[in-house]
Structure 1
Amino acid sequence: MKYRRPRHHFRGSWMVAIIAAMIATPAIAETSHFGKFSLSPGFEPAAGTVTGHTGGFYSLSEISRRDRDRNPCIGFADPQPDHILNLEQDFDRLNIQVNSGGYDTTLLIQGPDEKIIRCGDDTGTNKDASFEDKDFKSGTYRIWVGTFNPGLRRNYTLTVQQK
């Protein structure tokens, strides 16, 4: 008796179903509360300035307890980032600071690979958060501006400066 391989009429249909599901599934959008901004080396100061307000009960330590330099990541914000920053090219050094009029703010910035986290808290005698760091690779950065106490709504200006 000659072996006869069974016919699988569904072989092509499962591939069609997978492709159809991939096409029908929307891409996950990068969303933020206050929008996106893009910077490339030599940017004008106004391009690195955005505004927003704090508020939220989500502990930023849920994203990361410590940043790449072992600084604690503290504060409360919304789970969704406040800003999306696209660096079109690598930057040697950036300074990022919050101005809320002296309220106790915090910062968490998640890098393009989601592994590099940078956190900031008080700046000297000022309660507003800031930090300066090196080696910012091109890509998308998610930025959270938080407050030391949960649920506080404070208006702020976030400034990114090239150093």
Structure 2
Amino acid sequence: MKRLISALAVAATMAAPGMAVAQNAGLSANFGEIRLNAGFTPDPYRVEITAGGSIDAYTDTDLPGACVGDISDAPDFEVTYSAGSLPLVFRTRSSTDTTLIINGPDGHWYCDDDSWGDGDAEVRFNKPSSGTYDIWIGTFNGGTASASLLITETP
């Protein structure tokens, strides 16, 4: 019985399959959170953050291979969204090469580096789900940098 309890305790502390070991969406977001409903204004909604962190998303986590950049343990920002018929788009803007990692309401990871051009990232949900989006903004070449997170429903 003691062995069974010990085995269950060890199993409970291990990360579930497909979940990042280092990223904890349950932590308070570094730069806050917001609730947005479809049709929100102002559009785009802008948040100033410090991108980057001490965790290499590619080598130090169980995130999918497309997830790159140096990030923090906690999400940088959290959006609770009530979806409508419009797309939901997350973009980064910085003078430094930034990456974007999002844990969507479905529990899947969505990642990008450079899709918005000139070192800026974009993740687009053409048919977004209602729920919580936990967002990490990484730096591609290490360190930290000033960055903006833009949330929009217009292309």
TM-score between the two structures when normalised by the length of structure 1: 0.70
Deviation string, structure 1 residues 76-128 (Cα, Å, up to 9, x no partner): 11111000110023554122111113x110000001232x2111111364111
Describe the shift of the 1:110–1:63 C-alpha distance in structure 2 as closer, same or farther (beyond 3 A): farther
Describe the shift of the 1:125–1:36 C-alpha distance in structure 2 as closer, same or farther (beyond 3 A): closer
Residue 111 of structure 1 aligns with an amino acid whose one-letter code is G
From 32, 40, 43, the counterpart of 2:40: 43
Counterpart position of 1:86: 80
Counterpart position of 2:133: 141
- Is 1:153 aligned to residue 144 of structure 2? yes
Gaps of 5+ in 2: 1-24
What is the deviation of 1:142? 0.5
Describe the shift of the 1:91–1:129 C-alpha distance in structure 2 as closer, same or farther (beyond 3 A): same
Partner of 1:38: helix, strand, or coil?
strand
| More helix by percentage | 1
| Percent of matched pairs sharing the same residue | 30
Q: Following the alignment from structure 2 to structure 1, what is the Cα–Cα distance between the partners of residues 85 and 139? A: 27
Q: Contact 1:39–1:48 (CA<8 Å) still a contact in 2?
A: no
Q: Contact 1:86–1:138 (CA<8 Å) still a contact in 2?
A: yes
Q: Following the alignment from structure 2 to structure 1, what is the Cα–Cα distance between the partners of residues 63 and 26? A: 22
Give the aligned length. Answer: 128
TM-score between the two structures when normalised by the length of structure 2: 0.73
Describe the shift of the 1:107–1:124 C-alpha distance in structure 2 as closer, same or farther (beyond 3 A): closer
Q: Following the alignment from structure 1 to structure 2, what is the Cα–Cα distance between the partners of residues 162 and 139? A: 16
* Structure with the greater alpha carbon radius of gyration: 1
Q: Contact 1:39–1:47 (CA<8 Å) still a contact in 2?
A: no
Partner of 1:39: helix, strand, or coil?
strand
What is the deviation of 1:46? 5.3
Q: Structure 1 runs of 4+ off > 4 angstroms?
A: none
Gaps of 5+ in 1: 1-27, 67-71
